[in-house]
Chain A
């Protein structure tokens, strides 16, 4: 088992190096004027010259790549062109908020998507199945900005029950920073008003992020349940006279969940993509909003840094999925 994990970790590092190679390729080689890109729009000639020295842009390409790679592995992801501040600390500062949002949306996805998939599978081909299909495909087909805007429209204008902007109300005493996630922090501190407020702020963004993606959880659950229904052990359970409910939700769903859990990890990429838009619309102070602001202000080093950081996130999630799959499914050999 240790060998299995060690192998996967080695592959993970190779993948990360591959990702840096791609980001390097278009930020240093394919880009029409790399120095101006890294220096920012308003840079003058002397500033551009400084940037060329700073990022070693006057060196041969392979040496540039060496410095770039070295920078990434030593935690130097470049500098903000306007303020000159290093980028990695900024991203790490925004990280907990994004983590909170993504985790919450995964929770919603599990709580809504998996039962829906199970229902659709047990009524395969009938009206309920079509309805569930229409529902999850409409989640899939909703552009992330549209879904978020509709929620804002409904809740800010008509219902006025949930806040649509920010991560916590400015009128409550914010919790001390422990994990950086306000919901968790305020709970740890026992600060009830802050907990309620931050939870209220979390609901809409997490729902709109989950809505876009739970189709995949539903699909996957449905497909893998349809896979196990014809198997002997399900037939046995049925012929023993167990109720349909027990057969579907205890026997079939349990097995089907193995592949669903791993697919959830594979969703990280699309979650992080949607995250950029959702955070912007809901004014959520996370990495996605940071990336959006960086696009608007042409802060190119920050965009590249977010690309690298998000890709590492996806790669790590895939590693976790791999290990989880091997742990959950006894048929997988550790090799």
Chain B
């Protein structure tokens, strides 16, 4: 993305256009250089490993859950209730004798899926709105951005909470509620990026060579801001998981007995002083998931920001 800017300050329109198109089409190479950056820092390698682990567990549970999981996630009295971690129950059992290890694993695809799903949806909606606002400018920009401002000024958890209560507690409703509030920061981000991209020389060159506006929007502007949005989304997946599990903790997300990290914490809340593993282990499952996604995003964000980039490299 940054290379595109540097190359754009060349000369002839037609040549520029070709080169711009080749740069704009190089999302892949952007991700490859991101990988180089991740590899450079031990902390982000750790985060990357964790993300792979979580994804692998999700896939394994979805594909072969019945064969891998030692017990059923809702199987009562799989062990003696409230027993501490042991060989047969690596994370112990809860008050109903359910195996916590099984439940934590079984919840992984759900929590991760919601995190990735809501963040991608927010990126698609917010990205689209921001792209249009930044590219179009004028009245459209003002109206769209004022609406975005309104959404940004409502604390997202509280709004999601109120919406979940209004619609009635269920997984689908809490997903709807989070998505309803989540797109705004993407719109803000995409708009800023689109604004700075739309006057770049290669866009001007594309326009001068008679490229249609929607082609410029889709091919040149969108592809250029995609990396930024994608990296922001990586970091955001964790935040969505946090918010969703907090909604469950507050009792408006997942309804029992479905295994979900946040609701496992609230159900084990009572045992914090006597059998601390019951709330703490699912709590740490959330922690490491959010930590892993944030780590990668955080490192990449430093690099994306050209101002801090200069002093880093």
A314-B308 contact given A142-B287, A149-B269, A273-B158, CB 8 Å threshold? no
A124-B158 contact given A141-B287, A314-B153, CB 8 Å threshold? no
Interface status of B305 (Cβ within 8 A of chain A): yes
Interface status of A57 (Cβ within 8 A of chain B): no
* Per-residue interface assignment for chain A, residues 113 to 127, with 1 indicating a CB less than 8 Å from any chain B CB and 0 otherwise: 000000000001100
- B contact residues around A292 at 8 Å (CB): 250
Q: How far is the CA of A307 from the CA of B287 in the complex (A)?
A: 27
- A contact residues around B305 at 8 Å (CB): 223
A78 to chain B, nearest CB (A): 13
Main secondary structure of the interface of A (DSSP, over half): helix
- B contact residues around A310 at 8 Å (CB): 154-155, 158
- B contact residues around A318 at 8 Å (CB): 153
A176 to chain B, nearest CB (A): 32
User: Residue on A with the closest CB to B159?
Assistant: A307
B283 touches A315 (CB 8 A): no
B155 touches A273 (CB 8 A): yes
Interface status of B134 (Cβ within 8 A of chain A): no
A153 touches B276 (CB 8 A): yes
B294 touches A137 (CB 8 A): yes
- A contact residues around B246 at 8 Å (CB): 143-145, 273, 277
Q: Which of B150, B286, B294, B310 makes the CB contact (< 8 A) with A22? A: B150
B155 touches A143 (CB 8 A): no
Within 8 A of A (CB), among B46-86: none
Other than the given A146-B265, A229-B311, A273-B158, 16 more pairs (CB < 8 A) read A26-B163, A130-B41, A140-B290, A145-B249, A145-B283, A146-B280, A219-B298, A226-B307, A226-B308, A272-B158, A277-B246, A292-B250, A295-B165, A295-B252, A296-B251, A311-B158
- A contact residues around B126 at 8 Å (CB): none
User: Residue on A with the closest CB to B308?
Assistant: A226
Q: Which residues of A contact B (CB under 8 A)?
A: 14-15, 18-19, 21-23, 26-27, 30-32, 37, 124-125, 130, 133-134, 137-138, 140-146, 149-150, 152-153, 156-157, 219, 223, 226-227, 229-230, 269-270, 272-274, 276-277, 291-292, 295-296, 298, 300, 303-304, 306-307, 310-311, 314-315, 318
A26-B311 contact given A18-B146, A314-B155, CB 8 Å threshold? no
- B contact residues around A298 at 8 Å (CB): 165
A143-B153 contact given A23-B162, A153-B276, A295-B161, CB 8 Å threshold? no
Q: How far is the CA of A118 from the CA of B289 in the complex (A)?
A: 27
Q: Which of A141, A146, A153, A304 makes the CB contact (< 8 A) with B162? A: A304
A300 touches B165 (CB 8 A): yes
Q: How far is the CA of A108 from the CA of B120 in the complex (A)?
A: 34
B162 touches A26 (CB 8 A): yes
B158 touches A307 (CB 8 A): yes
- B contact residues around A143 at 8 Å (CB): 242, 245-246, 249, 262, 265, 283, 286-287, 290
* Per-residue interface assignment for chain B, residues 281 to 292, with 1 indicating a CB less than 8 Å from any chain A CB and 0 otherwise: 001101111110
A18-B242 contact given A153-B272, A153-B276, CB 8 Å threshold? no
Main secondary structure of the interface of B (DSSP, over half): helix
A91 to chain B, nearest CB (A): 13
Q: How far is the CA of A314 from the CA of B181 in the complex (A)?
A: 15
Q: Which residues of B contact A (CB under 8 A)?
A: 41-43, 146-147, 149-159, 161-163, 165-168, 180, 238, 242, 245-246, 249-252, 262, 265-266, 269, 272-273, 276, 279-280, 283-284, 286-291, 294-295, 298, 302, 305, 307-308, 310-312
B178 to chain A, nearest CB (A): 12
Q: How far is the CA of A179 from the CA of B30 in the complex (A)?
A: 55
A273 touches B156 (CB 8 A): yes
Residue from B151, B276, B311 whose CB has the most chain A CB atoms within 10 Å: B311
B15 to chain A, nearest CB (A): 33
A226 to chain B, nearest CB (A): 4
- B contact residues around A277 at 8 Å (CB): 246, 249-250
Q: Which of A21, A31, A150, A269 makes the CB contact (< 8 A) with B166? A: A31
A137 touches B153 (CB 8 A): no
A157-B273 contact given A37-B166, A143-B286, A291-B161, CB 8 Å threshold? yes
A276-B166 contact given A18-B150, A143-B246, A229-B311, CB 8 Å threshold? no
5 A-B interface contacts by CB (under 8 A): A272-B158, A276-B157, A295-B251, A306-B158, A310-B155
- A contact residues around B159 at 8 Å (CB): 22, 307
User: Residue on B with the closest CB to A158?
Assistant: B273
A32-B168 contact given A276-B250, A307-B154, CB 8 Å threshold? yes
User: Residue on A with the closest CB to B276?
Assistant: A153
- A contact residues around B283 at 8 Å (CB): 143, 145-146, 149-150
- B contact residues around A156 at 8 Å (CB): 273
B251 touches A146 (CB 8 A): no
- B contact residues around A230 at 8 Å (CB): 310-311
- A contact residues around B294 at 8 Å (CB): 137, 140-141
User: Residue on A with the closest CB to B247?
Assistant: A295
A150 touches B155 (CB 8 A): no
- A contact residues around B295 at 8 Å (CB): 133, 137
B286 touches A146 (CB 8 A): yes
B273 touches A153 (CB 8 A): yes
Q: How far is the CA of A295 from the CA of B158 in the complex (A)?
A: 11
Residue from B154, B262, B289 whose CB has the most chain A CB atoms within 10 Å: B154
- B contact residues around A153 at 8 Å (CB): 272-273, 276, 280
User: Residue on A with the closest CB to B243?
Assistant: A273
Q: How far is the CA of A165 from the CA of B280 in the complex (A)?
A: 20
Q: How far is the CA of A144 from the CA of B290 in the complex (A)?
A: 12
